[in-house]
C-alpha cells in the first residue's frame, strides 16, 4: 500500500500565543487554553501517515482537536506550524506551501469533505443536483449533459431519490442531506476523503445505512479516509488504525482492535470503559 | 533441521489499570515454537494467559515483554512485539489468521460475505471468494439457508462455524485458534478436526488453545503448558520479572 499523506508536527493555536502556551496546555495541564495569554491550543504536534485505501480514525471528546486536524488538511483553516505532504503517483505536494490556486485544485479534485453540519458542505440555495454540478464545474467538467449524468449517477449511488434531485437539500431529512454531501464529496472520485462526525445526530437506522455506504465506497474505490468521531462504535466498524486525542494532543495511537481491547493511556481506558 | 515459523521467547503480558491503580498479570514467561505443517497446543487452566498469548501475537494486545519472532513467506524474520502497525496489518491480511473465541464481524453483512472477506481483502474477485466461502461453509456443515443472512442472530455453535470458516478459508501460513471446537456438537467438532488435519497436511502452522486433553492428544504435535501467575505477584514482582525476560 502506497503512502498518500504524511502529516508532521501539525499545530494550530487560536489567539496570539505566548512562549508558555505549549507547556501550559495539554492532557497533563487538563486544559487547552493557555492561562498566561488566553490562546487556545487546538492541536499541537500531531503527526501521522495515511496509506491508499486506509481508513484512519481520529477519536476523542468534544474540544480534543480532532476536527481541527481535518479542517487544516482540507484548507478550511491555516495551521500555525507543521507540514503535510500529499503524495500522488507522479507528484508530491507540500500542502501548506502551495499557493491559493494550487490548494483549491487539491481541495476540489483530490480531496472530499463531509461535515457533521450539512450547511457547511452544501449550498442550500441551489438544488441537490446543482450542488454536485458546482463541484464538477470547479474541476473542469463543463458539458451540461455530462454533469447532469454524473450527478444522477452519484445520487443514485448514495441512494438519494432521483425524482428529488432538483429540490434544495433544505427540504431533505438529515440522513438524506448527508447522502447528498457524500455524493458531492465523491463527485471528482477523490483518493482522500475527510469525514467529520458524519453520523452524529442521526437516528440509529439511518446511521447504520450511512456507515454501510461509507464501507462500500471504500471497497469499491479504494478511497483513503480520515474519520473523525467520538463514537467508539463508528471507530470499531470503519477504521483499521486510530489516534486518540485529548486537549489537542495525540495521546495514543495504534491498531483499532488494540486501542479498544488493550488501551494504554488512562484517558483511553476511561473512554473505552464508558462505551455503552 | 526445520526452522520454526514462530518462536516466542519470554513473552509476558500484564494490564495496567490506571483508574484502579492496579497491575493485572496475565501471561508470564511464555516460550514456544510453531512449525509449518504442525500444531502447537497451548494448554493450562483458565487464567493462565493462553488467550493473551494469541492476542499478543496478533497484536490485539501489546506485549509487555519478550520477543515474538515470526518468519514471513520471504524468509524475513520480524519481531511481532515491535513491528509497526502497517506491517502488522499486512501480515494479518496476507499471512496470519486468527479464529477468536467470539465472532466479531461487520453487522448487516451476509454470512457468505463475512466468510469471503479475507479473500476479498487479498484481492480475489467477489465471485471466486464467495465460491470458496460457500465450499468452506458446506464443509463445516452450516445449513445453506443461513448463508444469505447476517450471523448476528445465529446460535453459539453456528457463529463459531462462521468464525472458523472465515479463519480457514484464506489458508493463512500461521493460524491462531482459540478453542475452535468449544461450542460445537460432536459431529461438527469431528468435521472441524478433519479440516484442521487437512490444512496441517497442506503445511499451515497452527497455534491452538484446547481444553480437552483428547484434542491435544489427537492434533497437537507439540504441547506447551502455561501456569497462572501466582496470586501474590505484586506490581513490583512484575517489574522484576520483566527485567529477567528483557
Q: How confident is the model at residue B241 (pLDDT cuts 50, 70, 90)?
A: very low
| A-B contacts at Cβ under 8 angstroms | 43
CA pair distance B38, B18, nearest whole angstrom: 40
* pLDDT for position B237: 40
Q: How close does chain A come to B164, measured CA to CA in Å?
A: 19
Over residues B163-188, the mean pLDDT reads 92
User: HEC profile for chain A?
Assistant: CCEEEEEEEEEEEECCCCCCCCCCCECCCCECECCCCCCEEEEEEEEEEEECCCEEEEECCCCCCHHHHHHHHCCCCCCCEEEEEEECCCCEEEHHHCCHHHHHHHHHHHEEEECCCHHHHCCCCCCHHHHHHHHHHHCCCCCHHHHHHHHHHHHHHCCCCHHHCCCCHHHCCHHHHHHHHHHHHHCCCCCEEEEECCCCCCCHHHHHHHHHHHHHHHHHHCCEEEEEECCHHHHHHHCCEEEEEECCEEEEEEEHHHHHHCCCCHHHHHHHHCCC
Residue A222 touches partner B, C-beta closer than 8 Å: no
CA pair distance B56, A25, nearest whole angstrom: 34
Residue B193 touches partner A, C-beta closer than 8 Å: no
Percentage of chain B with pLDDT > 70? 93
Cell numbers standing for residue B228: 497462572
Distance set, CA B165 to CA A74, B34, B156 (Å): 42, 22, 14
Cell numbers standing for residue B165: 470458516
CA pair distance B229, B242, nearest whole angstrom: 13
Cβ–Cβ below 8 Å for B89 and A240? yes
Exposed/middle/buried for A220, CB within 10 Å: 0-12, 13-18, 19+? exposed
Cβ–Cβ below 8 Å for B106 and A215? yes
* pLDDT for position B108: 85
* pLDDT for position B182: 86
Over residues B189-198, the mean pLDDT reads 92
Cell numbers standing for residue A180: 447528498
Cβ-proximal residues to A56 (8 Å cutoff; 6+ apart), any chain: A48, A50, A224, A225, A226, A227, A239, A240, A241, A242, A243
Cβ–Cβ below 8 Å for B61 and A1? no
Nearest Cβ partner for B85 among A215, A254, A264:
A254
Task: Say if residues A225 and A195 touch (Cβ distance below 8 Å).
Answer: yes
Task: Say if residues A114 and A107 touch (Cβ distance below 8 Å).
Answer: no
* pLDDT for position B245: 38
H/E segment holding residue B7: strand B6-17
Among residues A29, A24, A67, which one has the least CA distance to residue A46? Answer: A67
Q: How confident is the model at residue B123 (pLDDT cuts 50, 70, 90)?
A: confident
Cβ–Cβ below 8 Å for B88 and A255? yes
Among residues B93, B94, B97, B87, which one has the least CA distance to residue B54? Answer: B97
Question: A228: number of CA atoms within 13 Å, CB side?
Answer: 22
R_g over Cα of chain B: 18
Q: How close does chain A come to B3, measured CA to CA in Å?
A: 29
CA pair distance A8, A49, nearest whole angstrom: 9
Residue B89 touches partner A, C-beta closer than 8 Å: yes
Sign of the alpha-carbon dihedral angle for A89, A90, A95, A101: negative
Q: Phi then psi for B40, rounded to 5 degrees?
A: -100, 125
Among residues A268, A203, A207, which one has the least CA distance to residue A195? Answer: A207
* Model confidence pLDDT, tens digit, residues B60-115: 999 999 999 999 999 999 999 999 999 999 999 999 999 998 888 888 899 999 99
Mutate one of A269, A270, A271, A273 to test the B interface: name it (highest B CB count within 10 A).
A269
Over residues B21-44, the mean pLDDT reads 94
H/E segment holding residue B232: none
Distance set, CA A222 to CA A39, A107, A215, A217 (Å): 40, 18, 10, 7
From first to last of the 276 residues of chain A, give the pLDDT tens digit. 799 999 999 999 999 999 999 999 999 999 999 999 999 999 999 999 999 999 999 999 888 999 999 999 999 999 999 999 999 999 999 999 999 999 999 999 999 999 999 999 999 999 999 999 999 998 877 788 989 999 999 999 899 999 999 999 999 999 999 999 999 999 999 999 999 999 988 888 888 888 988 998 898 899 999 999 999 999 999 999 999 999 999 999 999 999 999 999 999 999 999 876
H/E segment holding residue B3: none
* Model confidence pLDDT, tens digit, residues A92-138: 999 999 999 999 999 999 999 999 999 999 999 999 999 999 999 98
Cβ–Cβ below 8 Å for B55 and A255? no
Please list every residue in chain A whose beta carbon sits closer than 8 Å to the beta carbon of residue B86: 1, 51
* Model confidence pLDDT, tens digit, residues B27-37: 999 999 999 99
Cβ–Cβ below 8 Å for B60 and A255? yes
Please list every residue in chain A whose beta carbon sits closer than 8 Å to the beta carbon of residue B55: 261-262
CA pair distance B240, A3, nearest whole angstrom: 41
Please list every residue in chain A whose beta carbon sits closer than 8 Å to the beta carbon of residue B90: 1
Residue A47 touches partner B, C-beta closer than 8 Å: no
Please list every residue in chain A whose beta carbon sits closer than 8 Å to the beta carbon of residue B106: 215, 237
* pLDDT for position B238: 38
Nearest CA in chain A to B55: A258
Cβ–Cβ below 8 Å for B16 and A215? no
Among residues B39, B40, B73, B69, which one has the least CA distance to residue B56? Answer: B69
Cβ–Cβ below 8 Å for B106 and A237? yes
* pLDDT for position B235: 42
Q: In what order do the strands lie in the sheet with A81-87?
A: A40-51, A3-14, A81-87, A92-94
Please list every residue in chain B whose beta carbon sits closer than 8 Å to the beta carbon of residue A237: 106-107
Q: How confident is the model at residue B236 (pLDDT cuts 50, 70, 90)?
A: very low
Cβ–Cβ below 8 Å for B86 and A219? no
Amino acid at each position: 500500500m502506497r503512502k498518500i499523506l504524511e502529516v508532521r508536527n501539525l499545530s494550530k493555536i487560536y489567539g496570539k500565543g505566548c512562549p508558555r502556551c505549549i507547556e501550559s496546555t495539554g492532557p497533563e495541564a487538563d486544559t487547552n487554553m493557555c492561562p498566561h495569554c488566553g490562546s487556545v491550543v487546538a492541536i499541537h504536534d500531531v503527526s501521522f501517515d495515511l496509506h491508499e485505501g486506509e481508513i484512519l480514525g481520529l477519536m476523542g471528546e468534544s474540544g480534543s482537536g480532532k476536527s481541527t486536524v481535518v479542517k487544516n488538511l482540507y484548507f478550511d483553516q491555516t495551521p500555525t506550524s507543521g507540514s503535510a505532504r500529499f503524495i500522488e503517483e507522479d507528484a508530491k505536494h507540500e500542502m501548506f506551501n502551495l499557493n491559493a490556486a494550487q490548494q483549491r485544485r487539491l481541495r476540489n479534485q483530490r480531496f472530499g469533505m463531509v461535515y457533521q453540519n450539512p450547511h457547511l458542505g452544501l449550498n442550500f440555495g441551489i438544488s441537490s443536483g446543482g450542488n454536485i454540478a458546482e463541484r464538477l464545474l470547479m474541476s473542469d467538467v463543463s458539458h451540461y449533459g455530462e454533469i447532469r449524468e454524473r450527478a444522477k449517477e452519484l445520487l443514485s449511488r448514495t441512494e438519494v431519490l432521483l425524482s428529488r434531485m432538483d429540490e434544495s437539500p433544505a427540504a431533505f431529512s438529515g440522513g438524506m442531506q448527508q447522502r447528498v454531501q457524500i455524493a458531492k464529496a465523491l463527485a471528482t472520485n477523490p483518493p482522500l476523503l475527510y469525514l467529520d462526525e458524519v453520523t452524529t445526530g442521526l437516528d440509529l437506522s439511518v446511521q447504520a445505512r450511512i456507515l454501510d455506504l461509507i464501507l462500500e465506497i471504500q471497497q469499491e474505490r479504494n478511497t483513503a479516509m480520515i474519520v473523525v468521531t467520538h463514537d467508539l462504535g463508528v471507530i470499531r466498524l470503519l477504521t483499521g488504525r486510530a489516534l486518540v486525542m485529548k486537549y489537542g494532543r495525540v495521546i495514543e495511537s495504534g491498531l483499532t482492535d488494540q486501542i479498544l481491547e488493550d488501551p494504554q493511556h488512562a484517558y483511553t481506558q476511561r473512554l473505552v470503559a464508558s462505551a455503552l | 533441521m526445520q526452522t520454526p515459523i514462530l518462536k516466542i521467547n519470554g513473552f509476558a503480558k500484564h494490564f495496567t489499570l490506571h483508574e484502579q491503580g492496579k497491575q493485572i498479570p496475565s501471561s508470564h514467561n511464555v516460550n514456544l515454537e510453531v512449525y509449518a505443517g504442525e500444531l502447537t497446543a497451548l494448554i493450562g487452566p483458565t487464567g493462565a494467559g493462553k488467550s493473551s498469548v494469541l492476542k499478543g501475537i496478533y497484536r490485539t494486545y501489546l506485549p509487555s515483554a519478550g520477543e515474538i519472532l515470526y518468519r514471513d513467506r520471504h524468509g524475513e524474520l520480524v519481531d511481532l512485539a515491535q513491528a509497526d502497525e502497517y506491517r502488522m496489518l499486512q501480515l494479518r491480511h496476507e499471512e496470519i489468521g486468527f479464529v477468536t473465541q467470539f465472532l466479531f464481524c461487520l453487522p448487516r453483512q451476509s454470512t457468505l460475505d463475512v466468510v469471503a472477506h479475507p479473500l476479498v481483502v487479498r484481492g480475489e474477485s467477489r465471485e471466486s471468494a464467495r465460491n470458496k466461502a460457500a465450499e468452506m461453509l458446506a464443509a463445516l456443515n452450516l445449513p445453506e439457508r443461513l448463508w444469505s443472512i447476517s450471523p448476528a442472530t445465529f446460535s453459539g455453535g453456528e457463529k463459531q462455524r462462521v468464525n472458523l470458516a472465515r479463519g480457514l478459508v484464506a489458508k493463512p501460513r500461521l493460524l491462531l485458534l482459540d478453542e475452535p471446537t468449544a461450542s460445537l456438537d460432536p459431529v461438527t467438532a469431528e468435521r472441524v478436526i478433519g479440516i484442521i488435519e487437512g490444512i496441517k497436511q497442506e503445511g499451515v502452522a497452527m497455534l491452538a488453545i484446547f481444553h480437552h486433553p483428547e484434542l491435544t492428544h489427537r492434533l497437537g504435535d507439540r504441547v506447551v503448558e502455561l501456569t497462572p501467575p501466582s496470586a501474590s505477584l505484586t506490581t513490583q514482582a512484575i517489574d522484576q520479572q520483566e527485567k529477567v525476560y528483557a
